[in-house]
Amino acid sequence: MHYQDERNAGCRISDAWTYRGLKTVILENEQIRVTVLADKGADVYSFVHKPSDVDFMWRTPWGVRDPRKFLPTTGAPSSIWLDVYEGGWQTVVPHGGFPSTVAGAELGLHGEVSTAPWDVDIVEDSSKRVAARFRVKGARTPFRVEKTLTIEAGSAGLVVEESVTNEGEEPADCVWLEHIAIGAPLLASEARLDVPPCTILNHPTDMGTDAKLKPGWSGPSPKAAAKRGAAIDFNRFPGKDDRSLDMAYFTEMKEGWYAVTNEQLGIGFGVSFPISVFEYLWFWRNLGGGTGYPWYRRCYNVGLEPCTSFPNTGLGPAIENKTARRFRAGQTVSATLHAVAYTGRGKVLRVTAGGSIERR
C-alpha cells in the first residue's frame, strides 16, 4: 500500500518493508514491536519489549535466508526446513514433527506452510488498533490457513486469531503446531517457567548423546525423571553449560498457558492458548547440546509450542496413536492465542485467555 498513515505515535503498522529480500510486516505500539516475515511462513521473527529492549524470540546462528535465493545442497526432508529456519515463531500445518508420508504426500520436517510465502492484507490501521491478516494454501495437502495479528494501544500483548480449513472433499488429518522458540537474554539460568498443574511426558525414545531425560517417563509437573541422577526441575532453566538437548511434553492441563520470567531482568513473556485445540505443549530444550548439524552445540534456546498432537515424530505416527486432528471435508477449526510481555518477578499464577498476567 502506498498511502498508509505514517504515524510516529500510538499503534503503527506497515507492509512496505523487506528484510533480506523477504516481504516483511511490522506492527507496533509504545510497548511492543512485532516483525513478521510474510514471504517466509508469516513467521513472527521478532517480538521486542520496547521499554527493556529485549527480543523474546530466539534466532538461529545462520539467521534469515531467502528461500528464493538459497539453494540447499541436498534434498533431505529435514535439512531443507532447517537450512532456512531462522528461529522465532512458526505456524506449522499440517505436519508438526519429523518427516513422514501421508495420503501419498511426502511431508518434510514441520511442513508445509511454514516455508511458503503468505498473502497479507492490512485490515485495521488506526492509532488505537492495528491488524494484519495473513493467508496461505498448502501445495501437497488441502489445508488453507489464515491468521490475523492484532495490537491495541496501551497493551503489551499480541492477539493471534487463526483458522485452519480442509478444502478437500474428503477427510484429512493434521498436526497443528505453534512453533515458538525463546532465547537469551530472556532465557537464562535466572529465568523460571510457570505452567498450570499438568502431566509431563518425556519423549518416547532417547534423543541422543546429549539427552538427559529418561525416555518414555511420565509423571506430574514440575519434575521430570532423568536418565541418571536427580529429577530435572522444569520450573528452572540451566545455563548453556548444561550441554543438553531434550524433548518433553506437557498435557492434561485444565487451562492452556505458560510464562517465562527472567528474575534478574524483571521481565517476562507469556502465552495463552485454547486446550480445546492444543492438547499438548511441546517443550524443546536445546540448552547448549546437540552435536553436529545443525546445532554444533552452539545454541541456547527452548521451544514452548502448543500443539494438537504428540509426539514430535510427524503426522503419520500421530495418526497411528490417534492424536492427529481429523478434519472433515470443508471443516474449519479456529483458535485464538495471546502472547504478552510483562514486568515483575516471582511466580506467575495464570495467563488468562485474554492475555492478562495474574501473579501471587
**Residue extents of the structural domains in the chain:** 12-359
Positive or negative, the Cα torsion across 17, 19, 25, 30? negative
The C-alpha cell at 27 is 506492527
Whether the per-residue pLDDT at 224 is higher than 90: the answer is yes
CATH code that applies to domain 12-359: 2.70.98.10
How many of the other CB atoms lie within 10 Å of CB of 341?
Answer: 24
pLDDT at residue 71, as a whole number: 84
pLDDT at residue 120, as a whole number: 98
pLDDT at residue 249, as a whole number: 98
Mean pLDDT value across residues 212-236: 97
pLDDT at residue 239, as a whole number: 97
Mean pLDDT value across residues 180-191: 98
CB neighbour list of residue 57: distance below 8 Å, 6 or more residues apart: 44, 45, 46, 47, 87, 88, 89, 181, 182, 183
Whether the per-residue pLDDT at 332 is higher than 90: the answer is yes
Whether the per-residue pLDDT at 2 is higher than 80: the answer is no
Task: Give the span between the Cα atoms of 339 and 273, in whole angstroms.
Answer: 9
User: From residue 36, how far is each of 55, 215, 244 by CA, in Å?
Assistant: 13, 36, 30
Average per-residue pLDDT in the chain? 96
- pLDDT cut 70: percent of the chain above it: 99
Mean pLDDT value across residues 225-243: 97
Digit-coded pLDDT (tens) for 252-306:
999 999 999 999 999 999 999 999 999 999 999 999 999 999 999 999 999 999 9
Query: In a 3-state reduction of DSSP, which class is residue 264?
Result: coil
Q: CB–CB of 333/274 below 8 Å? A: no
The structure's pTM equals: 0.97
From the list 162, 149, 186, 158, the residue with the least C-alpha distance to 57 is 186
- Name residue, grid cell 504428540: 310
pLDDT at residue 5, as a whole number: 78
User: From residue 257, how far is each of 34, 267, 282, 350, 351 by CA, in Å?
Assistant: 20, 17, 12, 7, 6
Which residues in 126-176 belong to E strands, given as ranges?
A: 129-137, 143-152, 157-166, 172-174
Element (H, E) at 177: strand 177-183
- Name residue, grid cell 518425556: 202
User: From residue 194, how far is each of 38, 259, 260, 272 by CA, in Å?
Assistant: 31, 5, 7, 12
Whether the per-residue pLDDT at 327 is higher than 80: the answer is yes
pLDDT at residue 148, as a whole number: 98
Mean pLDDT value across residues 186-196: 98
Whether the per-residue pLDDT at 74 is higher than 90: the answer is no
pLDDT at residue 36, as a whole number: 98
From the list 124, 91, 314, 286, the residue with the least C-alpha distance to 207 is 286
pLDDT at residue 206, as a whole number: 93
pLDDT at residue 4, as a whole number: 77
Whether the per-residue pLDDT at 1 is higher than 70: the answer is no
From the list 233, 253, 247, 251, the residue with the least C-alpha distance to 204 is 247
pLDDT at residue 68, as a whole number: 82
Whether the per-residue pLDDT at 221 is higher than 90: the answer is yes
pLDDT at residue 3, as a whole number: 75
